[in-house]
Structure 1
Amino acid sequence: MQIKYTNTLEDIVAFNRYHHQKSDTFKKQKNICLIRMPIVLGLLMIMFFILSQEVQVLIWGTCLIVFYILIFLKAWGTGMDKVCQKVFLEQDTKSVICEHLLEITNDGMHEKTDLNEWWGKWAAIQQITVERDMAFIYIGPLQAHIIPRGRVVEGEFDLFVATAQRFWRDSQAGSAGA
C-alpha cells in the first residue's frame, strides 16, 4: 500500500508546532517563562515597594507583569512558527518540501522523493500520530514523515494511516515479547 503527497513549509511548521505542544521539555520551558518569571518579577516589585514605599511601584510593576505575560503568550505561538520558517528557509529544502511517495511493506516503510530515498523497519518508527488533518510518522525525536490529508495526490489518507498504525502496533507487540 502506498500514498503520494506533497509537503509544504506550512506542513513543516505545523509538525513543529504539534511537537512543541506535546514535548515535556518545551512544556517545562513554557512553565518557567510563564509562571516562574512573573513570580520573580512580583517578588522584585514587592521588594522595591517595601524599600521605596511608593504605590506607583506596585502599579507599574503589576502592569509590567501583565504586559510580560500577554507578550509571552503571543510570542510563544507565533514566535515558534516564525523561527521554524526562518531556520528551514536558511537551508536547501528541495528534498523535504516536495512530493513524497510513502509505501507500507510487511517489513517497514519506504519513502521516495526526487532527491532522497529512505527505508526503515517498523521497529525504527517511534510513534504514529494523527492530529486534525495531518499524520506524523515519527522516525526520530524531531523527525517525522508528515502526511497532510489535503495534499494527498494518490492513495487514501485514512486507510493508509490505519494500515500503518496496525503494522506498527503489531511490530511493537512482537518486539515486546522478544
Structure 2
Amino acid sequence: MEITTNIVRSDLLKLNLSVALRSKGTYYFILGISLLVLCFSFYKSGLPDSPVLWATAFFIALFSGFLGAALSFAINVFCLLIMSKQSNGVLGTHIYQISEAGLFEKTDANETLTKWSGVLSVKVHGPILYIQIAPGLFHTIPSRSFSDSKAFIDFANAARKFWEHA
C-alpha cells in the first residue's frame, strides 16, 4: 500500500501536543518542578502554620509546575517549527509504502526503509496515524491524505498488522 502526503507545521504541532499529553515524562516534569518550587518556598519561608497556607503553597507549586511545563513545551515546539523545513525532509511531500518488508519513506531529502521489528508503535489518534520509530521520532500520516476515511482505516490497520506480526 502506498500513500503520498504533505506534512505541514500544524501536523508537527498536533504530533507534539498528542505526545506531550500522553507521556508520563510530562507529568514527572510537572511534579519535579512543583516539588522544587515547594521545597524552595519552605526553605525561604519555613513550613506553613495553617491548613490554608499549606493548601496555598501546594496550589502555587502545582500551578508553577504546569506553567513550567507549558513554557518548556512552547519553547521546544517553537524551535522545532523553526528548524523544520522541506529541505531537511521534515516538511513537504512524503511518500509512504507499507509492506511486509517494512515502512518505506521517500522525501526530497531521503529514502528510508524501517523494518517493522524496529518500529516501537503504530497508533491512530484522531485523524492522524503515528508510527513511532524511535523515542521522540514519529512518522505522521494525516487522514486528509486519503480519498476517504475507509482508505485511512485500511492503511492504519494494515500497518498495525505488519507491525504486530514482525
Q: Is the counterpart of residue 149 in structure 1 residue 148 in structure 2? A: no
CA distance in 1, matches of 2:64, 2:46: 24
- 144, 161, 166: which one pairs with 2:156? 161
For residues 99-118 of structure 1, what are the structure 2 equivalents within 5 Å?
Answer: 99-118=93-112
| Structure 1 counterpart of 2:123, one-letter code | T
Partner of 2:3, secondary structure, is strand
Taking only the aligned residue pairs, the percentage that are identical comes to: 18
Contact between 2:38 and 2:57, CA under 8 Å: does it hold in 1? no
Note the C-alpha offset of 1:96. Answer: 0.9
Note the C-alpha offset of 1:93. Answer: 1.6
Q: Is the counterpart of residue 33 in structure 1 residue 43 in structure 2? A: no
Structure 1 unmatched ranges of 5 or more: 172-178
Which residue matches 1:11?
11
CA RMSD of aligned residues (A): 3.0
For residues 116-135 of structure 1, what are the structure 2 equivalents within 5 Å?
Answer: 116-135=110-129
Structure 2 unmatched ranges of 5 or more: none
Structure 1 segments, 4+ long, off by >6 Å, are: 61-65
Alpha-carbon displacement from aligned partner over 1:141-163 (angstroms, at most 9, x marks no partner)? 1111111223x156821110010
Partner of 1:37, secondary structure, is helix
For residues 35-50 of structure 1, what are the structure 2 equivalents within 5 Å?
Answer: 36-41=35-40, 43-44=42-43, 47=46
CA distance in 1, matches of 2:48, 2:114: 61
Change (3 A) 1:115 1:135: same
| Structure 1 counterpart of 2:22, one-letter code | K
Query: Computing the radius of gyration over CA atoms, which structure comes out larger, 1 or 2?
Result: 1
Q: Is the counterpart of residue 86 in structure 1 residue 85 in structure 2? A: no
| Structure 2 counterpart of 1:80, one-letter code | F
Partner of 2:155, secondary structure, is helix
Higher mean Cα deviation, 39-48 or 25-34? Answer: 39-48
Greater RCO, 1 or 2 (C-alpha within 8 Å, sep 6+): 1
CA distance in 1, matches of 2:25, 2:4: 33
- 159, 164, 170: which one pairs with 2:165? 170
Alignment size in residue pairs = 161
Which residue matches 1:175?
none
